[in-house]
C-alpha cells in the first residue's frame, strides 16, 4: 500500500548514535567483505522489510540489490522509494519513484557492469522521526552503452557519490544526491564546457531549478535553530564544529584551517580533485572564491555519529549563493551570473581535528549556470 509522507523532520541531539556498533566499518569488518553473511545487530526498525537488520544493512543491501549485475532488480525501487519521493540532484528536483526507476535503467544501460561500493554510511535518527543517512559510495563501471551524453565511449569511470536520504517504513522519501556528474563526464572523455553548452540548449529534467525548488532544497530537514544553540552541550560539539568551520572556510579568512585540519589531510572532491595537506586545501577554496568573490554559504543540516575517544563521523549539507564575478582557470571570464551552489561534506574527526574529508558540490550544474549566462550575452 502506498504511503504518503509529510515533510521530513529535523533531528535532535538524542538521535545521534554515540558509538559504532551499527556502522559500515563494523558491517564490512573494516572492508574485508562488501556484503556480509551476518547483517549486524538488530535495531528497532518498525515498518521496514524484516529481512533488513539495521539502517546500515538496509542502505548497503538495497543499493546492491538495485544496481549490481548479479540479480539486479531496478524495479525494487518501488519497494524502497515512496511514490511521492523528492530527490534533489545535480540538475534540480526529480519527483516520484517512477522517475528514479527510469533514470536507473538509463544508467545501468550505459554502464552494464556498474558497481556501487559503499565507503561510508553516517546515520542518525530512529523509526519514529526517520533514519537520516549520508551514504558515500564509489561508482565503478565501463561505458559500453549509449547514454544521454552520447554514444558509448568504452571508458571506465571511478567516481565518489554522496546521497543524503531520509527513510521511514522501508521508504526513502527525501534525498539530496550529488552524482559528481562533472567527474564522470571528464572520465568519459567529454569536454565539460561543450557539454554544458549543449545541455543549456536542451536541458535535462529539473534544470534550471526554480527559486521555489532552490528554497526547498535548502530548507528541507534544516532545524529552526542549530542544535548547538537549541541544545548546547559541554565539551566537543560536532554541530558547532561543523558550522563554525564551514563559516570560516567559505565566508571568512580560512584562519581555522591550520588549527582544525590535520597537516596531511587527505581530500577527495568534485571533478577528480584529490590532494593532501592544508596548503592545497586553502588553494582549492581560494580558487573557488576568486571566481565567486561574493559567495555566501549557509549550513543547512549537520548530523553525526561517534564519541570523544573513538572519534566522530560528521555529515554537513550546505548551500551558497554567489555571483560569477571573478576570472579563474576553471570558470573562465566572469559573466555576472547569479549562481546556486550546494554540497555535502563528510569528515572523519578525532581530537578536534578533521583527519579526512570528502566533499561534493554541483559543479557541472554550476558550469551550466555560467554557460547559460554566456549564451544569453552572445
Distance in angstroms (rounded) separating the CA atoms of residues 300 and 226: 9
What residues contact 41, with CB distance under 8 A and at least 6 apart?
21, 22, 53, 54
According to CATH, what is the number of the domain 224-377?
3.10.450.50
3-class secondary-structure state, position 340:
strand
Q: What pLDDT was estimated at residue 3?
A: 66
Other CB atoms within a 10 A radius of the CB of residue 336 amount to: 11
Architecture of domain 13-216: Roll (3.10)
Q: What pLDDT was estimated at residue 69?
A: 80
3-class secondary-structure state, position 219:
helix
Q: What pLDDT was estimated at residue 63?
A: 98
Backbone phi, psi, residue 189, to 5°? 85, 20
Same fold yes or no, 13-216 and 224-377: yes
270-290, pLDDT tens digit by residue?
999 999 999 999 999 999 999
Domain ranges of the chain: 13-216, 224-377
Query: For the chain, which residues score pLDDT lower than 70?
Result: 1-4, 378
Grid cell listed for 87: 530527490
Amino acid at each position: 500500500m502506498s504511503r504518503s509522507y509529510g515533510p521530513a523532520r529535523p533531528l535532535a541531539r538524542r538521535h545521534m548514535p554515540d558509538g559504532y556498533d551499527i556502522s559500515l566499518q563494523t558491517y564490512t569488518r573494516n572492508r574485508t567483505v562488501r556484503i556480509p553473511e551476518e547483517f549486524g545487530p538488530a535495531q528497532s526498525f518498525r515498518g521496514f522489510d524484516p529481512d533488513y537488520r539495521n539502517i546500515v544493512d538496509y542502505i548497503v543491501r538495497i543499493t546492491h540489490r538495485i544496481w549490481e549485475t548479479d540479480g539486479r532488480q531496478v524495479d525494487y525501487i518501488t519497494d524502497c522509494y515512496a511514490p511521492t519521493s523528492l530527490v534533489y540532484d545535480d540538475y534540480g528536483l526529480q519527483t516520484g519513484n517512477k522517475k528514479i526507476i527510469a533514470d536507473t535503467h538509463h544508467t545501468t544501460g550505459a554502464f552494464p557492469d556498474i558497481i556501487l561500493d559503499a565507503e561510508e554510511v553516517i546515520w542518525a535518527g530512529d523509526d519514529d522521526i526517520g533514519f537520516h543517512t549520508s551514504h558515500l559510495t564509489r561508482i565503478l563501471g565501463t561505458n559500453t552503452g549509449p547514454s544521454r551524453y552520447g554514444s558509448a565511449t568504452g571508458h571506465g569511470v571511478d567516481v565518489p557519490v554522496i546521497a543524503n536520504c531520509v527513510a521511514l517504513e522501508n521508504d526513502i522519501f527525501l534525498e539530496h544526491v550529488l552524482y559528481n556528474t562533472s567527474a564522470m563526464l571528464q572520465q568519459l572523455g567529454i569536454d565539460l564546457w561543450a557539454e554544458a553548452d549543449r545541455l543549456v540548449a536542451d536541458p535535462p529534467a529539473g534544470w534550471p531549478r526554480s527559486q521555489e525548488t532552490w528554497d526547498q532544497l535548502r530548507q528541507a530537514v534544516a532545524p529552526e535553530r542549530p542544535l548547538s544553540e537549541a541544545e548546547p552541550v559541554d565539551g566537543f560539539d560536532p554541530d558547532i564544529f561543523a558550522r563554525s568551520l564551514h563559516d570560516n572556510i567559505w565566508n571568512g579568512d580560512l584562519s581555522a584551517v591550520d588549527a582544525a585540519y590535520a597537516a596531511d589531510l587527505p581530500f577527495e572532491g568534485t571533478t577528480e580533485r584529490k590532494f593532501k595537506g592544508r596548503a592545497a586545501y586553502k588553494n582549492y577554496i581560494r580558487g573557488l572564491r576568486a571566481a565567486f568573490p561574493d559567495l555566501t554559504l549557509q549550513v543547512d543540516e549537520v548530523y553525526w555519529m561517534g564519541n570523544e575517544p573513538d572519534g566522530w563521523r560528521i555529515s554537513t549539507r550546505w548551500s551558497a549563493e554567489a555571483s560569477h564575478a571573478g576570472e579563474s582557470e576553471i570558470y573562465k571570464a566572469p559573466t555576472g551570473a547569479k549562481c546556486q551552489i550546494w554540497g555535502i561534506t563528510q569528515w572523519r574527526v578525532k581530537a578536534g581535528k578533521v583527519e579526512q574529508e570528502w566533499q561534493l558540490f554541483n559543479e557541472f550544474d554550476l558550469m551550466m549556470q555560467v554557460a547559460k549566462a554566456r549564451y544569453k550575452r552572445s
